[in-house]
Chain A
Amino acid sequence: MKIGGAEALLKALEHEGVEVVFGIPGGASMPIYDPLVDKSSIRHVLCRHEQGAGHAAEGYAWATGKVGVCMATSGPGATNLVTPLADAKMDSVPLVAITGQVPTPVVGNDAFQEADITGITMPITKHNFLVKDPADIVETVREAFHIASTGRPGPVLIDLPKDVLLAETTWRWPEHIGLPGYKPTTKGNNRQVVEAVKLILQAKRPVLYVGGGVIKADAYAELAQLVTTGRLPMVTTLMARGAFPDSHELNLGMPGMHGSYTAVTAMQKADLLVALGARFDDRVTGKLAAFAPDAAIVHVDIDPAEIGKNRTADVPIVGDCRDVIAKMVAELTTRQEAGGGVPDRSAWLAQLEEWQRLYPYRYDQQPGGPLKPQYCVERLHHFAGDDTIVVAGVGQHQMYASQYWRFEKPRHWINSGGLGTMGFAVPAALGAKVGQPDKRVVAIDGDGCFQMTAQELATSTTERIPFITAILNNGYLGMVRQWQELFFDERYSGVWLDPDVPDYVKLAEAYGAVGLRVDTPEEVDTVIEKAYAITDQSVVIDFRVDPAEMVFPMVPAGGSNDDIILGPDAIQRTADPAEGPIV
């Protein structure tokens, strides 16, 4: 069957199960938009900026586990996708980006709206393709989806010159995928699993260090079995929030720079860390040389390059978390049944319980006093229920969201972890709502972040994709302000935004959303209930929060996790920036 290249592309996307594409058209990609009129079932969500389209596709992928698809034209359209691609690479988000390109005869000639997007995105994609023959379009789409969604997931870009999209080709769905150099190891080595389980049974102070890989592998049931079978305390990283219920007594919460005292300290004092789909990121380990000094390491990851990258593993296991954890559960069950049950670790568990009791997350909301951002998050959670999807940008509000929301289910927490992309929340919330239309989506955002991508509220209104944005508006780039207060002798520089500019209520209304404002703690509940009752329109809540509030606990960057600080009084302020944190 002869069809046009663009039609072949859309048909191939349909074969891959694509229902929605987030994008913006342009000269080079216009051929794709013509068959969208009447020859394709795919929904195109017209975003207002390509970065928004990219983050929306990411949000969709986070919320559904499916591959998110975004589309842009050549040149500036494509370069605007750079940030979402880099974000998806760092957070292993399955993404396929389709870009138009100038026609093949002028590729390399500095044609209008030309950019070498395959060259530009090489280090920030898992793989990318420049398709020069219309006969290769379908096979390339198939390979791109396979690469994006298997092994360690990640972004793949397909660059399609305009003449290739306009040319005729023969439709044929390839039976086999020809990628001789791509064979991810998914099955964990059984002998290594046995070694890991032996270490678990010997350990007196074990901690499971659960990372985003558990979510990617949909390994929640297996993880729950491992935790309960072995009575093993565990932490969930920023990428793994919701992989296991926060309400469970063995869940110590989030580790890392702004993690809970118990999660951070449990890892420091552990004699065994079992890393499951986690990568010993600097935000978790603090000063690497001082991290968990007494712990043996079991490291499970589907990416061999993660194992031993930052911390040497005593038992490395390459494989999919679901497969490996299931094998661990089976082995652990057998050995515990043969050897008299779960080893006695009551002293360790009692110690953890004591830390949790003594050092919970803490803030002080005085009635009539300045509105605390933590209180806003707690109340947003209180009225939300477990089925609400929470999306955050990057900064103080992201940490408050992770700390004070109680996550009970996987894929209900979406944020930019590795790259730390400000402006992620609004477009990602849009994409999440498209993927999970029956669930309430709440973007908890900062005023700095919000202004970077707020234009996607227009997309929300015109495409009827309603979600709630809760701006924790302190009028500052708050995290930078916090560091300047603590480590640069309160010399504030380039951080004041002004809480009144723009007027967020008017801005929301201008975009066709409902705008609400909260100035005092007493108004919080009423406004949240009002916002949650609106389901056919997006809502923006402008929470006027205390700019002096800071995120704690805190491990100063470059410092040891032993030096975790619980509140502002314990900070050693320094006038000399050279003695301050590194990154």
Chain B
Amino acid sequence: MSSGGGTLHTISVLVEDKPGVLTRVAGLFAARGFNIDSLAVGATETAGLSRMTIVVNVDLKPLEQVTKQLNKLINVIKILEHDPGTAVERELMLVKVRAAGDDRARVLEIADVFRVNVVDVTHSTLTLEATGKPEKLEALLELVGGFGVVELSRTGRIALARGDRGIRERVLKAAGG
């Protein structure tokens, strides 16, 4: 799934909604040869600000350097690296599965167990819409994979830290001073 021998890190980046910001952020990872596992961008509670959720597979020390470099970007307002277990992390996935004949009932059974929606039906396929923690989506994919996946699309992870504070009230984790 991902390259490198590091560990997966989830980072939330609050940015000004301006042209080229995505390129600037992605460029910092690319310049160091880091592969971004997923990247999701969308609007926030504040007009003019967007939030990126980046999942990257990298060791802690290079990650700290990237985080510091990210923080130097003029359009970046705030960065939060989520500690595992302290954040709510979700992803949306659409998967089109081969489901003709006897397979149809089996796929529907799996969909039922995972509480995912069937959003499109043809004679030979079922399209499932699943949301949840990344592990849940992986488990679902593992099970339906045997029937044959025609097409797969994932949004990438989004995350919010648990607790009553927003990202702007938190200090930059990796700033070191």
Contacts and interface: CB of A to CB of B under 8 A. Distances in A.
B74 A182 contact: yes
- Interface bin, chain B: 20 to 34
Contacts of B27: 122-123
Contact of A304 (B16, B20, B23, B71): B71
B69 interface: yes
B31 interface: yes
A192 B177 CA distance: 10
A281 to B, nearest CB: 15
B176 interface: yes
A179 interface: yes
Nearest to B48: A180
B75 A181 contact: yes
A305 B175 CA distance: 8
A78 B176 CA distance: 37
A305 B74 contact: no
Contacts of A308: 64, 176
Interface string A198-221: 000000000000000000000000
A127 to B, nearest CB: 4
Interface in A483-536: none
B65 A309 contact: yes
Given A123-B31, A147-B74, A305 B68 contact: yes
B73 A181 contact: yes
Nearest to A151: B72
Interface in A371-414: none
Contacts of A318: 175-177
Contact of B177 (A180, A181, A189): A189
Interface string A122-149: 1100110010000000000000000100
Contact of B65 (A182, A305, A317): A305
Given A123-B27, A130-B19, A181-B16, A304 B176 contact: yes
B74 to A, nearest CB: 4
A294 B20 CA distance: 45
A181 B77 contact: yes
A40 interface: no
Nearest to A192: B177
A304 B176 CA distance: 7
A303 interface: yes
Contacts of B15: 181
Contact of B74 (A123, A179, A309): A179
Given A122-B20, A305-B65, A316 B74 contact: no
A227 to B, nearest CB: 25
Contact of A181 (B20, B68, B76, B176): B76
A126 B73 CA distance: 8
A60 to B, nearest CB: 24
Interface string B53-95: 0000000000011001101111111000000000000000000
Interface in A273-303: 303
Contacts of A182: 74
Given A304-B176, A317-B177, A118 B75 contact: no
A181 B27 CA distance: 18
- Interface bin, chain A: 20 to 34
B30 to A, nearest CB: 9
Q: Provide the main secondary structure of the chain A interface.
A: mixed
Contacts of A105: none
A304 B19 contact: no
Interface in A155-192: 179-182, 185, 189, 192
B154 interface: no
A307 B74 contact: no
A147 B72 CA distance: 11
Nearest to A313: B176
B65 A180 contact: no
Interface in A103-126: 118-119, 122-123, 126
A182 B78 CA distance: 10
A182 B65 CA distance: 18
Q: Which of B24, B68, B69, B72 has the most CB of A within 10 A?
A: B72
Interface in B1-27: 15-16, 19-20, 23-24, 27
A418 to B, nearest CB: 16
Contacts of B73: 127, 181
A119 B23 CA distance: 8
Q: Which of A123, A180, A185 has the most CB of B within 10 A?
A: A180
Given A122-B20, A127-B74, A181-B76, A305 B69 contact: yes
B24 A122 contact: yes
Contacts of A127: 73-74
A119 B20 CA distance: 8
A328 to B, nearest CB: 16
A537 B176 CA distance: 52
A127 B75 CA distance: 9
B177 A185 contact: yes
B72 A305 contact: yes
B23 A181 contact: no
Contacts of A122: 20, 23-24, 27
A317 B177 CA distance: 7
Q: Which of B27, B68, B74, B75 has the most CB of A within 10 A?
A: B74
14 contacts: A119-B20, A119-B23, A122-B20, A123-B27, A123-B31, A179-B74, A180-B77, A181-B73, A181-B77, A192-B177, A304-B176, A305-B69, A308-B64, A316-B176
Interface of B: 15-16, 19-20, 23-24, 27, 31, 64-65, 68-69, 71-77, 175-177
Interface of A: 118-119, 122-123, 126-127, 130, 147, 179-182, 185, 189, 192, 303-305, 307-309, 316-318
The 3 closest A-B pairs by CB, nearest first: A305-B68, A318-B177, A127-B74
Given A127-B74, A305-B71, 5 more contacts: A118-B20, A119-B23, A130-B19, A181-B15, A318-B177
